[in-house]
Amino acid sequence: MALPDDFTFGVATSAYQIEGGRSEDGKGESIWDRFADNGRMPESGDVACDHYHRWQEDIALMGELGVDAYRFSIAWTRVLPEGRGAINQAGLDFYDRLVDGLLEAGITPYPTLYHWDLPQALEDDGGWTNRATVDAFAEYAEVVSGRLGDRATDWITHNEPWVATFLGHLEGVFAPGRTSWEEALTAGHHILLSHGRAVPVLRAAGAQQVGIALDCRPAFSATDSPADAAATRHFDGFRNRWFFDPVFGLGYPEDMLAAYRERGRFVGDHIPAEKPGDLEEIATDIDFVGLNYYTSLPISAATGDESEETGVPTGPNPPPGHTEMGWPITPEALTGYLVHLTQRYEPKAIRITENGASYSDVPGADGRTRDQARIDYLAAHIAAVDAAVEAGAPVDSYFVWSLMDNLEWVEGYRQRFGLVHVDHATGARSPKDSYYWYRDLIAERR
């Protein structure tokens, strides 16, 4: 392997997907609590994996796995139940204990400030469409890093702004369920701006490495036709460049601004939410960019240049070459995309902050979960990262999504991404074959 000796191997989770403890110890309501209450999900995260109570068991599982680092997210409403103002010390205490427990186990904590669970109180005031939420986010960053910044050195501001922006504010299939271009472009801009505003706040509290986790869908043209090539370029702008470009100081892509103007998404030269100085703030210096990678897809004019045709989630036995999310398995595109990011943006470092696969294997009569398909997926993608490093991409970390089976948002609990099986009726955890495979890979490299 070309991966350097100090390469970091980790696992990732997020608060709403694992914690449960919905209203415990003063936690406030988030937009996902409300979304679930409104019947927009098959199951809620009220209990999830009950990590709020079982966190010590989960740290022990990570300790045995031998990971270097654990990426988790903070529930904003545990810390600031109303989004800003009164601080809930009990919520901070939870993350304080978690960080101490991780450090005692020799695992580096990687807190992510925002994995989509906006306080409902802020949503009631307009949420991310309201510029005041940018200030609220900076205050939240200050409160959390003020408590954890003496021990947590590696921080991520946002997880997957594309999802929060477009699934949450344009397609309305994720919380908060808004459905307008104007709101989506405004929300996305404020999310990016809040990233830029939070980075210096985190640094002031002691953070040494700060970045943002951007998701991507590398796209390739389904045919050689000029129409499909144009659709692919537009899709890449919509899905990828709209976030990567401003974070790396290139501003919003000119071709997309022109296309959005032409399609009547906004009037004027800039998206209306953008104020002088915003792009400079968004382009604040970061230490790494996180990349969440799962799949890539062919684009054609016929399938559309703004709809994500990644496939229909299935049950067990997905079509060959697909995971149960319906996503094509395309590790080679990861190598290509890492090289592309390196050339286009020259990041100081790239961290694969998520990569993994959904397969619903469960323990057999002997208690063993034979999830060979997940092992194959992970092995192929780690090899793809290795190839990218060989080609010069500065990738220094890889996090499996996910430590354990959890709430896959609007898919509920049926989609299982974990290295550890979770029986959602009892909360019982049991490591799958992939867990032992990953453990051995890490051990062998050491």
Tell which residue, 372, 396, 376, 286, has the closest CA to residue 331: 376
Give the span between the Cα atoms of 384 and 392, in whole angstroms. Answer: 13
Give the span between the Cα atoms of 406 and 14, in whole angstroms. Answer: 9
CB 8, min distance to ligand IFM, A: 19
**Closest CB to ligand IFM among 94 and 417?**
417
Is residue 401 a contact residue for ligand IFM (CB under 6 A)? yes
**Closest CB to ligand IFM among 44 and 292?**
292
CB 259, min distance to ligand IFM, A: 26
CB 14, min distance to ligand IFM, A: 5
Return the residue of 29, 33, 354, 361 that touches ligand IFM, per CB under 6 A: 354
Tell which residue, 117, 111, 98, has the closest CA to residue 71: 111
Residues 176-215 contacting ligand IFM, CB under 6 A: none
CB 277, min distance to ligand IFM, A: 31
Question: Are 330 and 295 in contact, with CB atoms under 8 Å apart?
Answer: yes
Give the span between the Cα atoms of 176 and 209, in whole angstroms. Answer: 30
Return the residue of 274, 305, 371, 408 that touches ligand IFM, per CB under 6 A: 408
Question: Are 163 and 226 in contact, with CB atoms under 8 Å apart?
Answer: no
**One-letter amino acid for residue 96 of the chain:** D
**Closest CB to ligand IFM among 259 and 384?**
384
**Closest CB to ligand IFM among 281 and 408?**
408
Residue 253-292 contact track with ligand IFM, rule CB under 6 A, x = bound: ---------------------------------------x
CB 358, min distance to ligand IFM, A: 7
**Closest CB to ligand IFM among 88 and 355?**
355
Residue carrying the six token digits 């800003």: 84
CB 308, min distance to ligand IFM, A: 12
Catalytic residue among 29, 160, 274, 308: 160
Is residue 165 a contact residue for ligand IFM (CB under 6 A)? no
Residue carrying the six token digits 């092995």: 379
Return the residue of 9, 10, 14, 396 that touches ligand IFM, per CB under 6 A: 14
Q: How many residues line the site for ligand IFM (CB under 6 A)? A: 8
Return the residue of 160, 236, 308, 396 that touches ligand IFM, per CB under 6 A: 160
Instruction: Give 409's contacts (C-beta < 8 A, 6+ positions apart).
Output: 17, 41, 174
**Closest CB to ligand IFM among 281 and 371?**
371
242: left (phi over 0), alpha (psi -120 to 50) or beta: alpha
CB 400, min distance to ligand IFM, A: 11
> How large is the angle between the packed helices 433-445 and 51-65, nearest 10 degrees?
50
- Tell me how far CA of residue 238 lies from CA of 50, 126, 234, 259, 263, in angstroms: 36, 24, 6, 10, 13
Q: Is 160 one of the annotated active-site residues of the chain?
A: yes
Is the bond leading into 320 cis (omega within 30 degrees of zero)? no
Instruction: Give 77's contacts (C-beta < 8 A, 6+ positions apart).
Output: 27, 28, 29, 30, 83, 91, 117, 119, 120
Is residue 58 a contact residue for ligand IFM (CB under 6 A)? no
CB 384, min distance to ligand IFM, A: 17
Q: Is 308 one of the annotated active-site residues of the chain?
A: no
Question: Are 65 and 419 in contact, with CB atoms under 8 Å apart?
Answer: yes
Is residue 35 a contact residue for ligand IFM (CB under 6 A)? no
Tally: H helices and E strands in the chain:
17, 12
Distance of CA 272 to the CA centre of its chain: 27
**Closest CB to ligand IFM among 188 and 253?**
188
**Closest CB to ligand IFM among 58 and 160?**
160
Burial class (CB in 10 A: 0-12, 13-18, 19+), 35: buried
Give the residue numbers marked as catalytic. Answer: 160, 354
Binding site for ligand IFM (CB under 6 A): 14, 17, 160, 292, 354, 401, 408, 417
